[in-house]
Amino acid sequence: MTRTTEALLPAELWMEIFNKVNSFQQLIQCSMVNKRWQQLAETAIFNRDITLVTEFDAITFYNCLLRNGGKSKQPVKHLTMKPRDQPLGYFRDIIPFVVTHNMQTFNGSVNGALFFRVMLYETFGKKGVRRFRNLKTIPSAWTYCNIYDSLLYRLRNILQEITLNFRGIYYDPVPKWRVLSRLNKITGLQALNFNSYVHDVEDMETILQNCGHIKRLTIRLAVEDLFCGETDIDQWIKINTHQCDTLGELKIRIDKAYNPYFIDYVMYKYPNIESIIVEKIDIKEPWGSYPVDSMDISSIRSVLDKIQRVPKYTLKCNVCNSEEDDIISFLKSDGYTVYKYDQHCFTSVVTATGSNSNDSNQSSTSRSSVLPAPLRMRYPSATTDRFFEW
């Protein structure tokens, strides 16, 4: 392309072209062509969700920042870090350069208290919190800890969405985390992802009763005995459950045996749900993936019967290939919209969706904004996509 031809193309068209480039390195190369491309390419870069997965990604981005004197000509608004068993040195080094008052979302999940210690004592400790009022999220910790609890407390007046992962076994006395028992102190909290390998329903109820103002909730309890030996579960639910009228969107992730009482519990606790998703599919966590047993037709019918009063409801589950045709025929005959894709040689994933309202009536609790497309440091291969996707 000649310079004359390049100059004739409007900036809007170049932005469309640059926005389709999914490699940070490619956009950096484009920015070196001339001053006009530099401005447009940098705009394309910093309007995307810059995603760092490997140590190579972190080193590449860190070196780019160093070449610019530790600053970018445009502020980083969206950043995702999700290293999986990677050295975290360069990930930590990036934080002072990019976490500024312009940042809106800092997503991902990180394993390492030292990473969050840098954020607690250096990023938000020295500069104060008020100047970060645009920040809505921070990366989750692979497992909840004192440092992460202190960090959430420090940011309690600005965060809108948090993820709580509990992987350890906590013995008596349980650590007195001041945020976990007072989630209502996170005044702007709208969305909570509660993911636990150690809590039963009673434990979770104690925590959730302190955040009655949230609008979106994702729950996963990976324990065998959800109700800790209770015999009259219906009575327990009515006596011990604090109802919440504000929650509009609920997602339940099931990986152990399907327990119908758990669906009864959440439906009783959140009577005004506008949208619900129940998933029983293979679990993908930042630290690994786990297979999940298939659901049979009776369990599928049970879940759908319990959630069908919600205006919009979806069940997504693993099914055995030998039962796939019967399950799909049953779902279609009952009027559900059904999708299916093959997962393994023995199982498929089936999604059944139903609705009790017009599609035009959208939930008032839906996300007001959608994250921009991710921007990787280099073009992702099929292998790295499969390995790092979670």
Encode pLDDT of 353-375 as tens digits. Answer: 999 876 544 444 444 457 788 88
The predicted structure's pLDDT at residue 325: 93
Phi then psi dihedrals of residue 164, to 5 deg: -115, 115
pLDDT tens track for 289-312: 989 999 999 999 999 999 999 999
The predicted structure's pLDDT at residue 70: 55
Q: Is 336 exposed, middle or buried (0-12, 13-18, 19+ CB in 10 A)?
A: buried
pLDDT tens track for 261-280: 999 999 999 999 999 999 99
Mean pLDDT of 38-46: 84
Before 271, cis peptide (omega within 30)? no
Provide CB contacts within 8 A for 187, sequence distance 6+.
156, 157
**CA dist 343 to 31, 59, 347, Å?**
41, 35, 6
Tokens of 111: 């394993």
Beta bridge partners of 196: 166, 221
Tokens of 282: 């293979």
Tokens of 205: 């109820």
C-alpha angle 317-269-255 in degrees, rounded to nearest 5:
25
The predicted structure's pLDDT at residue 17: 85
Percent of the chain topping pLDDT 90: 52
The predicted structure's pLDDT at residue 382: 43
8-48 domain in CATH 1.10.1760? no
Domain boundaries, the chain: 8-48, 54-226+233-357
pLDDT at 159 over 90: yes
Name the pairing type of β-strands 312-320 and 347-355: antiparallel
Helical packing angle, 324-333 and 297-307, nearest 10°? 30
Mean pLDDT of 129-149: 92
The predicted structure's pLDDT at residue 162: 96
Which one has a higher pLDDT value, 345 or 334?
Answer: 334
Q: Is 3 exposed, middle or buried (0-12, 13-18, 19+ CB in 10 A)?
A: exposed
Give me the residue label for tokens 């009783």. Answer: 268
- Among 216-225, 278-287, 353-362, name the one with the lowest average pLDDT: 353-362
Provide CB contacts within 8 A for 329, sequence distance 6+.
none
**Strands laid side by side in the 249-253 sheet:** 161-166, 191-196, 216-221, 249-253, 275-280, 312-320, 347-355, 337-342
Three-state DSSP class for residue 10: coil
- What single letter denotes the amino acid at residue 43? T
Q: How confident is the model at residue 345 (pLDDT cuts 50, 70, 90)?
A: confident
pLDDT at 1 over 80: no
Which one has a higher pLDDT value, 339 or 63?
Answer: 339
Q: How confident is the model at residue 232 (pLDDT cuts 50, 70, 90)?
A: confident
Q: What is the mean pLDDT of the chain?
A: 86
For residues 86 and 84, what is the distance between their CA atoms, to the nearest angstrom?
Answer: 5
> How many residues does the structure list for the chain?
390
